Structure 1
Amino acid sequence: MLMVAFNVNGSLKTIQKLEVTDLNFCDESTMDYTRIRFASNFQKTCSVNLRRLIGTLPDEPLLYDLYLNYTENNLNLLKSVPVLIRNVFAHNAVMKSKFVCRTLDWKVKSSFWFQENNREKWQLVKRFFLLDTYTDRNSTFRQRIYNDRNALQRFQSIRYAKDIELIFTISNDHSTHPNRISIPVLKIVYGEVNITNLNEKSFNVFLDFRIRITFVKDYEFTSIFDVVLSTLLVAAAIISLFRGYCYKTRQRRQFYDIDIFFKFVVFLCSNVANALFIYAAFISIYVLIIIQTQSIVKILLPIDEQNLIEVFVYVAVALKTISVVHLIWQQSHVDIFLIDWERPKMFDHHPKNHLDTPSISSNSKQVTYDGVSAWRNYFVANEWLKLTTKRKFCFLLHIVLVLFLIVMMNLEHPIIFERVDSPDETLRIGWGIVIFTSVYLSQRLINYLFHERFVNNSVQQFVDVCSMANVSLFILKYETFGYYVHGRSPHGFSDTDMCSMILQLKREEDNICGHRGLLPSSEQQTYSFQAPKNL
């Protein structure tokens, strides 16, 4: 792009290649121009000292034109870059009235917003200025030699470009014109400083300034996001209806009542939260992959759905909180019954002679019964409480591994983040999901393939404890639905000494006794059941 400068009389002054420094008022030491690259949005906000700004004034006021130079059919062509003065409508509306009230200010902002978003109402120009000291200059001012304090008398007001945005629109035709841009648009918002209201002490006031380089592109896959969201929400509703029907069946209800409706609402909250989480993860990871692999610009950051993703995450957390509260209440109302299959042992004592009875009945046997100890029930209950606190993965190890990858392995800022002006929230969410999910799946895979098979399987160990203790377990999740752990010992008893217990295990190892399962010749010991209502 070329930048052409004119004086107020229209005479040509300079023609030069456009640089960001030509439109920038910020301190050069705070600028990082390596962030400026194609298809990467750039933004810089700073505060400019008024005295320093006046010190950069040229000898005479300058007006500028921008031109886009390009090649077509081996010809070098130029096209003028249109300029949109964003606050020209608001400024004109204010100048028409001497009294600006809140109602007028609201109307001005509404008109400004309407004009900004309605391209048909745009009034484009081709020439602009960066600093205007010519319009409101003091005509009676006389320059004094060796006096730098006369700026207060030199100008009455100064107009400057406080917000500059250069917008490039990228073509959607990737097959014939990849990475092709249309004529850019320069948007400017002007600010005004009244010099007459300043004194020497307040002359060092700081002015806000912002410069932006924005790339715009219409996505052809936006409809994919809409289809995914609609599909997930419909699936959440269907799954909630199915779970509500299953709850009605498990409770042996003939009609739908308020309890079933409440359960359906809770199921719907949980499933909608899952759908929103999946949608946010899908978009974040999809954008992360596209940005990482694209050679032709297909997507620009930040995406339009970024704010929507944040809202969905907040809504999903709120809905999931309702589901978790209901889950805690449900687990606290589960009924658990321990069934002890152990029978009392019968002992025959030595015969006793009753000398005062000469009949044959004087020689008799005394039969006693030994009670069943309760230690096995306590042991099973204790193991059940331990089992309820276990997870299928180690949460502490999971957090340590995630922090190790992020901090120690320096994966917090991957190479992909260097391609954008600032770390995008969508990329952060996607990258966090990738790391968190990778560590989680790795733990589950190692746990399933190695730990549960060769080291420790907590659920199977609990079932073995029930068989060794000859105690079964009923877990009633609902009134008529629950789970059953068949812990009846195939040996018929377990209240014995350690030597007998070792012999029992040896018999099972040699397969010379019955099986532990509920059904004959079966090892299945865990079941879900539906009990009658009169149970």
Structure 2
Amino acid sequence: MEADTFTRNIWIAIGSLSGAGVILAFMRTWAWFSKSGREIIDLATIGKFFAYIMGIVGTVFFLVAAAGSVWWLVFIKKQYEPYFEDEYKKVQNQFRILLIVAFVLKTIDIIHVIARQTTIDIFFMDWERPKAGDLNHVSAWRTCFVANEFNEIQTFRRIRVSFHLLLVLLLLKVIGLENFASANPIVSLSEPERMENSTVDYDKVFRTGIAFPILVGTAFLQYIVYIIFYQRFIEDKIINFVDLCSVSNISVFILDHIRHGYYIHGRSPHGTTDVNMKDMLMNLDRESRMMSGTRGLQDNSSDQIFIMKINRSFRMQYEALFRKYYNFVGPKRRMNGRENYTDVLLESYQNLNSFLCAYIDCSLPAHHYFIRNRYFLEKIFNYEFQIGIGSGLAGYLDSLFFVDNDRTFTKILFYGEEDSLFIWNATTFLFIDYLSQDYVLAAILAYLLNLIAVGLRNSFGRRNLSKKTLVPRELLI
């Protein structure tokens, strides 16, 4: 295939996939627009649309560059001659542009993911009732413990980047798969010899073509091992967190948009969990033998995770309960002293906790919700339609809870953005190697950039967690 024909096919593929990507970005923006409760298209909506486009187009550029390089390695390598270096210079320049654009756009996409995840509203609802009748006698350690566990899983991923990159380097450098990218028609694991009248040992496009399937294959292998073995026989951090909520008698109320969020029901079927070790073990034993109630939100149900679609009046009440605390923090906190600050903090926490517990218990006449399963199309599009269960207008104005068996609430964690993070890590690796022709340097810089992203997510996530849950940062490890 001539270089001009190959270049034309590459841009046709990019144009076609990017066109489909624009449609996908429009659908995601429309879903965000609905979940945010907006009524007019404003600058925030336009900005969100372009943020989605950049993430999708970045993925398109990466996939086209990677697939094109694999094709180039498979079909061009056996025909390679020294004069190809000059003839296909245009192809190499094109791949460089594709990888640069993909790296920049996917980096912006990851920044968007971090910003979205670290600005959610979250609150830990304590169902424990004081034994002495005084709300101040309820221990705060259970809430702090659950908050720290949530803080720990914010950046948890099924693919461990350090191990992934080491495995890739093992295959490329130690076993010698890198030598498949040699600038000659010979396919061998041995060190390539320099060809006559040529000063190039490796072809840049060939290097991308051999690195991409190894990146995907090793990541897929690690993912499968986690799903089949680690998650089943060692630990499932997400399910463990949900179980911890039930053992601690703590529910998690999350709002990732103005009128959309998630609810993890952690109310203990035993009524109280602030007990001694013997009572705790006896409670767990009775539950294992089905001698107590179920952990689910509904009677005789084990469903604990829900997607929420709340109405405007509930959101306004939720924000009003935070207003006194937000008006007090900042300069007033330093002026009024630590004791006044803690008084306002405790009052705000108790008011919000009482409101949310009463809401879940359906004890608020002004706020109701209905529970139903998601329809097939809602799962496909990851968007819940406003179809109520009640009769008349009330069935459409009340809030809706959808059983979340697919754990879509992990979208607020790195766990739920595994695909975007992997594509960014792979793009970084291929981009740096294309410029430096050094897999070791590419792995080091990809690991460091990932470390920076994790650090930013941890730092801003911890700050947001303290601000929104009213758990002091000093208590978050």
Q: State the TM bucket, normalised to the shorter chain.
A: 0.5 to 0.7
Question: Matches of 1:313 and 1:288 in 2, distance apart?
Answer: 17
Please state how far the C-alpha of 1:331 moved relative to its aligned partner. Answer: 2.5
What is the total number of aligned residue pairs between the two structures?
298
From 14, 18, 26, the counterpart of 1:233: 18
> Which of 104, 108, 118 in structure 2 is aligned with 1:322?
108
- The answer on whether the counterparts of 1:269 and 1:320 sit within 8 Å (CA) in structure 2 is yes
Deviation at 1:412, TM superposition (A): 2.0
Match of 2:54 in 1: 269
Deviating more after overlay: 518-527 vs 501-510: 518-527
Match of 2:143 in 1: 377
TM-score, normalization by structure 2: 0.58
Q: CA deviation at 1:391?
A: 1.4
Amino acid paired to 1:499: K
CA RMSD of aligned residues (A): 2.7
Identify the residue that residue 313 of structure 1 maps to in structure 2. 99
Code of the residue aligned with 1:246 in structure 2: it is A
CA contact (8 A) 1:291 1:416 kept: no
Shift of 1:532: 1.9
Return the alpha-carbon distance in structure 2 between the equivalents of residues 317 and 415 of structure 1: 22
List aligned pairs for 1:2-13, cutoff 5 A: none
How far off is 1:255 after superposition? 2.2
What is residue 72 of structure 1 aligned with on the other side?
Answer: none
The answer to whether the Cα contact below 8 Å between 2:182 and 2:203 also exists between their aligned partners in 1 is no
Rg larger in structure? 1
Q: Is the partner of 1:419 in helix, strand or coil? A: coil
Please give the residue correspondences for 1:276-355 in structure 2 after superposition, counting only pairs within 5 Å: 276-291=61-76, 302=88, 304-346=90-132
Structure 1 letter corresponding to 2:108: I
Paired residue secondary structure (1:482): strand
Choose from 180, 186, 189 the match for 1:414. Answer: 180
Q: Deviations over 1:357-408 (max 9, x none)?
A: xxxxxxxxxxx89921111001000101111131111111112212222222
Q: Which amino acid aligns with 1:425?
A: K
Question: 1:464: which partner in 2?
Answer: 243
Q: Distance in 1 between matches of 2:16 and 2:301?
A: 43
* Correspondence for 1:517: 296
Contact 2:260 2:309 in 1 (8 A): yes
| Superimposed CA distance per residue, residues 269-309 of structure 1 (whole angstroms, 9 cap, x where no aligned partner) | 111111111111110112222246x6899xx6637432112
Structure with higher helix content: 2
Identity among equivalent positions (%) equals: 32
In structure 1, the partner of 2:164 is: 398
TM-superposed CA distance for 1:327, in Å, is 2.6
SS for the counterpart of 2:297 is: coil
1:444 aligned to 223, 235, 240, which one? 223
User: Is residue 307 of structure 2 the alignment partner of residue 528 of structure 1?
Assistant: yes
State the alpha-carbon separation in 2 of the partners of residues 469 and 455 from structure 1: 22
What is the TM-score with the length of structure 1 in the denominator? 0.52
Does structure 2 retain, via aligned residues, the 8 Å contact 1:276–1:313?
yes
Q: Deviations over 1:119-159 (max 9, x none)?
A: xxxxxxxxxxxxxxxxxxxxxxxxxxxxxxxxxxxxxxxxx
1:419–1:308 distance in 2 versus 1, CA, 3 Å: same
User: 8 Å contact 2:127–2:250 — kept in the other structure?
Assistant: yes
**What aligned pairs does 1:136-147 form with structure 2 within 5 A after superposition?**
none
Read off the aligned partner of 2:66 and give its amino acid letter: A
Q: CA deviation at 1:472?
A: 0.5
1:86-132 deviations in Å (ceiling 9; x for gaps): xxxxxxxxxxxxxxxxxxxxxxxxxxxxxxxxxxxxxxxxxxxxxxx
Q: CA shift at 1:510, angstroms? A: 1.2
After superposition, the Cα gap between the structure-2 partners of 1:218 and 1:429, relative to the gap in structure 1 and judged at 3 Å, is closer
Once residues 431 and 313 of structure 1 are traced to their aligned partners in structure 2, the CA distance between those partners, rounded to angstroms, is 15
Partner of 1:498: 277
Deviation at 1:330, TM superposition (A): 2.4
Structure 2 unaligned runs (5+)?
187-194, 316-477
Instruction: Supply the distance in 2 between the matched residues of 1:389 and 1:469 (Cα, whole angstroms).
Output: 22
CA distance in 2, matches of 1:342, 1:399: 46
Tell me if the contact between 1:266 and 1:323 (Cα under 8 Å) persists in the aligned partners. yes
One-letter identity of the residue aligned with 1:339: M
Q: Does 1:475 pair with 2:254?
A: yes
Q: Which aligned pairs between 1:64-463 and structure 2 lie closer than 5 A?
A: 217=2, 224-291=9-76, 302=88, 304-346=90-132, 371-414=137-180, 417-419=183-185, 422=200, 423-463=202-242
Amino acid at match of 2:33: K
Letter in 2 for 1:519: Q
Q: Is the 8 Å Cα contact of residues 228 and 279 (structure 1) preserved in structure 2? A: yes
SS in 1 for 2:308: strand
Q: Deviations over 1:32-71 (max 9, x none)?
A: xxxxxxxxxxxxxxxxxxxxxxxxxxxxxxxxxxxxxxxx
Cα distance in 1, alignment partners of residues 145 and 80 from structure 2: 65
Q: Contact 2:3 / 2:91 at 8 angstroms: preserved in 1?
A: no
Query: Which fold has the larger relative contact order, with Cα–Cα distance below 8 Å and residues 6 or more apart in sequence?
Result: 2
